[in-house]
Amino acid sequence: MLNKAVEVLQKYFGYQSFREGQKKIVESLLNGHDTLGIMPTGGGKSICYQVPAMLYDGVTIVISPLISLMKDQVDVLISMGIPATQINSSLDYGEVRDRLRMAARGEYKLLYIAPERLESEAFQALIKDVPISFVAVDEAHCVSQWGHDFRPSYLEIARFLRSLPERPIVAALTATATPEVTEDIRRQLELVDERLFITGFGRDNLLLSVRKGENRREFIQQYLRANAQQAGIIYAATRKDVDALYADLQKRGFEVTKYHAGLSEEERAHNQEAFLYDDVRTMIATNAFGMGIDKSNVRYVIHYNMPKNLEAYYQEAGRAGRDGEPSECILLFQPQDIQTQTFFIEQNQLLEERKEHEYKKLYAMIDYCRTPRCLQQYIVQYFGETDAQACGQCGNCTDETELSDITLEAQKIFSCVKRMRERFGAALVAQVLKGSKNKKVTQFHFDELPTYGLMKEYKEKEIVDLIQLLIAEGYLQVTESQYPILKLGERALPVLKGEERVVQKIVIRPVQLTEDDELFEKLRTLRKEISQREGLPPYVIFHDSTLKEMSSLC
Ligand code: ADP
Ligand code: MG
Ligand code: ZN
């Protein structure tokens, strides 16, 4: 049976072989099992039902949420010589009737249907004559209120299946793999003894990395300069961020375009086109951009902010490298992102249970930003694949790192924050620890505190960096306000009491200032030498300016 499927795949679709996950799903369907297939965006879910559709007798119904997606798929099928059509709200009764009559005569192999149509009485009367052997539910997470895209009309599907003279085989496909959603799909679609396949979440051409404490705008400018010829997407959390980043980059002479729900329809269509046809290489967008977009040569996806959960992140990041070529997915993490996402959750007035659920997913996202483990492995395990190995190529697998114990420094900082009654920001705390004679320091008599000058051998900027690090790791918190105030986090107390140590994985990531590899290596060595000679602690991070100075020494 699988041989026949491969034949169809080659003859109609022009692909040599099934991908690993596709094979299992197709096989299960051809053996007559209800099948729940979970595969990431770009994994190739369409083939999983289109190929079996060609092998079953009768007509296959595909339920799909977006008219534009449906139209694209139908066009592609027709161009490959497969008789297919769609039924959506843009058709009048006569057209619906004609198409369903043709389907009843077996003139179509696949019939795409918008879920809203299932409720129409006219449709229900006409569909009775169509010999349906197989129903595929695409984007099946839309049936779940736990998913990110709930469509009430998806709840009609079960009733539709029951109304048919003979229950067809059902395939449900989605990229959302959380247990709640999976369980919901199973229940709401009334799947029978279904086989579950979760595959292909590891996309080994995606080079994942998380960067903490970068100056995000500078990082992006540097990145765009180095990758000017490549197409890429930069996601930001809000329209305001998109507009600001867009204006900033444009002012600096970068060719960029933007997309968010606040733009007019024409503007959105125009900008999207410009990006799709490579007229403009860089798209700056909110998460409104991307659903159903199949641009194969996206070489990087940068997240300016941490998204609300890993499902959202991987869906967006996964728009890179759909052609299988190596592509970068970079997440620029800032501690404030946690406050922003918390604010979004609180603002939504969710039911208590639902809220807890959203927080659980947010914490997994934060964990991703902090974990020293392989990022690829972390994601794949989150999505339920258990036998993943470390990828050997993500940021965490390849960064040169050193472990260092910064317990003492952390204790000094925490105690200073406490002595200052958790009422001031990072800059002032750093000044007090440095022993600065700044007016504000003396004005509040902070120069009389026992923590005054406790870290005077450090540069002020280095203390601020350590504070940022402690914020990123959750030891310190900052308030979301115009002048963010430092507070002790829960993790700080055991450290202050001496019960726990702070061991920090420090990334030694030299900024690539030059494309000349030899010079680059020289810089790295030089930097190590300077560290040792100057007796600098290993966690002192060099700043771009230091590196630039050093490069002039070479
Ligand atoms: P999904 O719905 O899972 O996001 P699609 O079905 O849109 O993914 O497929 C994504 C891309 O992968 C498409 O460009 C498709 O042509 C390609 N593709 C799917 N299956 C195969 C295969 N077996 N071999 C090569 N390319 C494939
Ligand atoms: Mg799809
Ligand atoms: Zn890895």
Identify any residues that bridge with 209 across adjacent strands, giving them in sequence order. 330
Identify any residues that bridge with 506 across adjacent strands, giving them in sequence order. 402
Q: What is the pTM of this model?
A: 0.62
State the sign of the Cα–Cα–Cα–Cα dihedral 527, 532, 536, 538: positive
Q: What does pLDDT average to in each consecutive run of 10 residues of the chain (554 residues)?
A: 92 92 95 94 91 96 90 93 92 92 94 92 90 96 85 94 94 87 94 90 88 87 92 96 97 96 95 94 94 84 95 91 91 88 86 82 88 86 76 82 78 95 94 94 93 91 86 83 86 91 64 53 60 46 46 50
Longest CA pairwise span in the chain (Å) = 91
Strand runs (DSSP E) across 123-245, as ranges?
A: 132-137, 169-174, 195-198, 206-212, 231-235
Quote the ligand 2 centre to 138 CA distance (angstroms).
Answer: 7
The Cα-based distances of 294 to 107, 172, 228, 420 in angstroms read: 29, 21, 21, 54
* 319 Cβ inside 6 Å of ligand 1: no
Amino acid 516: pLDDT: 58
**At 398, is the secondary structure helix, strand, or coil?**
helix
For residue 22, give the ligand 1 atom closest to its CA. 23
State the sign of the Cα–Cα–Cα–Cα dihedral 541, 546, 547, 550: negative
- Are 486 and 424 in contact by the 8 Å Cβ rule? The answer is yes
Identify any residues that bridge with 110 across adjacent strands, giving them in sequence order. 60, 84
Which protein residue's CA is at the shortest distance from atom 2 of ligand 1? 45
- Are 181 and 144 in contact by the 8 Å Cβ rule? The answer is yes
C-alpha 508/C-alpha 530 separation (Å) is 14
Quote the ligand 3 centre to 204 CA distance (angstroms).
Answer: 10
Quote the ligand 1 centre to 69 CA distance (angstroms).
Answer: 14
- Provide the residue type at 6 as one letter: V
Half-sphere exposure of 450 (CA within 13 A, CB side): 5
Amino acid 189: pLDDT: 97
Amino acid 488: pLDDT: 95
Phi, psi of 341 (to 5 degrees): -70, -35
* 537 Cβ inside 6 Å of ligand 1: no
Quote the ligand 1 centre to 101 CA distance (angstroms).
Answer: 31
| Mutation choice for ligand 1 from 2, 6, 9, 15, CB with most ligand atoms inside 8 A | 15
For residue 41, give the ligand 1 atom closest to its CA. 4
Which protein residue's CA is at the shortest distance from atom 23 of ligand 1? 18
For residue 15, give the ligand 1 atom closest to its CA. 24
- Provide the residue type at 168 as one letter: P
Residue 380 parent element (H or E): helix 375-382
- Are 49 and 122 in contact by the 8 Å Cβ rule? The answer is no
Task: Write the DSSP string, 26-79.
Answer: HHHHHTT--EEEE--TTS-HHHHHHHHHHHSSSEEEEE-S-HHHHHHHHHHHHH
Quote the ligand 1 centre to 52 CA distance (angstroms).
Answer: 15
C-alpha 170/C-alpha 145 separation (Å) is 20
Amino acid 392: pLDDT: 85
**At 111, is the secondary structure helix, strand, or coil?**
strand
* 13 Cβ inside 6 Å of ligand 1: no
Q: Which residues have a Cβ under 8 Å from the Cβ of 482 and sit 6 or more positions away?
A: none
Q: Give the single-character DSSP code of 444.
A: T
- Are 172 and 185 in contact by the 8 Å Cβ rule? The answer is yes
- Provide the residue type at 397 as one letter: C
